[in-house]
Amino acid sequence: MLAEFIEKLFECYCALHFTYLEINPLVVTESLQVFPLDLAARLDETARFECGKQWGLIDFPPPFGRPLTKEEEYIHTLDSKTGASLKLTILNPEGRVWMMVAGGGASVIYADTISDLGAGHELANYGEYSGAPTTSDTYEYAKTILSLMTRGKPHPDGKVLLIGGGIANFTNVSTTFKGIIQALQQFALPLQQHKVSIFIRRGGPNYQEGLEKIKRAGIELKLSMEVYGPETHMTAICSRALGLPIRDQRPRMATSLPRPRSLLDLQSPGMEHSESGDSISSPLSSSSSSSSSSSSSSSSSSSAAAAAAASSASSSSASSSSVSSSSSPSPSASPVQKKKQPSLSQVPAQPLASSKTSPLSPSPTPAPAIPVLPPPAAAVVAIVSAAGRSPGGRVWLQRHERLCQQQCRQRLLSSRSLRDGSSGVSTSGRR
């Protein structure tokens, strides 16, 4: 008897979509009848369309802790009668920004974006339509929102309506837009009187047909309307509606870096710095140069090279008259008033000795070598110090690390080949 009661109770629990059921106490009479004296239960409100008649008159608590408005109650009833999802919550009836968004996740993103752009106080409603609603369901939903936003006196600055969403998987965009177009035709005059600007962005099955239909309807009804497809970022219409520049949402790799503190500490044969110091590059293809061009021009980015050019020019009697005016005075010379030293990028190129010298003439003393880091290590130091916290710097750093690792691996393999005397044999198989 008790087992039969529990079996029937479980069937009722599943058929009526209970989410919680507690009976305490449970009484069994002498005639073997079972009576629950007290019961606490919870029902799944989303199953009202399926078994609402069996539930009877049951009042569910209102969302957000307040009674539902007439329009919210209507959409709530409409949602209970369809397999689609129709939600509407009025936040500010006097707001200027109204939303008609497809998808629960997209509605959250649009609401957050509007608040992030500084117009959260103007957000009038929150809700979504999704789950492949029919044309009639979409029409009723759109008609309710258009009725709300065209009430009262027109706002002097006008209002905006965002008909947005992501890229649908199975919702027919053309079918849902057909219902929205019917609502726009019904409220065309009030929309013009309230200076409503409509911004649309949608993607999914048959979105080309749906966007073309609603664009043609906007022209025929003389409505202020902008229509975009999935090629536009989902929330770009929020910036357009608020009159703000559209943010570039695509991730970018860092192409410019701040100037390092010391070029002498970071510069290496594999790295070059622009004159402004805003970019660092590694031109691997320009590693070799002609000897004639290198002897007739001097480096303007290294102070040591400029000093070597001046000392070599002063030691040569043939070119002493041509460089005596531009060479720096010796330390033993009389002190002069100190002037502000130009930066490395502003040092003028010093003329070197003529390249047409006699082969018997002594060669100029080479400049002392400047200790520099190897190109891979210098690149890593430069990127870590300059781009570690810049936008996209991590991606830029990872790519340069891989490049440095490849260079180090190639150098290691070449050194092994020279050491083993097998430069013509591939060493890729060695570990």
User: Measuring CA to CA, how many Å separate 218 from each of 43, 100, 141, 301?
Assistant: 44, 16, 19, 62
Residues contacting 155, CB < 8 A, separation 6+: 96, 194, 195
Q: 394 vs 60, which has greater pLDDT?
A: 60
Residue with structure tokens 């190897």?
A: 374
Residue with structure tokens 């029937």?
A: 8
Q: With 0-12 CB in 10 A as exposed, 13-18 as middle and 19+ as buried, what is 147?
A: middle
pTM of structure: 0.48
The phi, psi pair for 128, rounded to 5°, reads -165, 155
pLDDT tens track for 328-361: 444 444 444 444 444 434 444 444 333 444 334 4
- Which pLDDT belongs to residue 431? 41
- Which pLDDT belongs to residue 396? 67
Query: What's the CA gap between 15 and 17, in Å, rounded?
Result: 6
- Which pLDDT belongs to residue 282? 36
Q: Is the pLDDT of residue 54 over 80?
A: yes
Q: Is the pLDDT of residue 18 over 70?
A: yes
Among candidate residues 26, 48, 47, the one with its CA nearest the CA of residue 36: 26
Q: Is the pLDDT of residue 27 over 80?
A: yes
Task: Give the HSE-up count for residue 382: Cα atoms under 13 Å, Cβ half-sphere.
Answer: 33
- Which pLDDT belongs to residue 423? 43
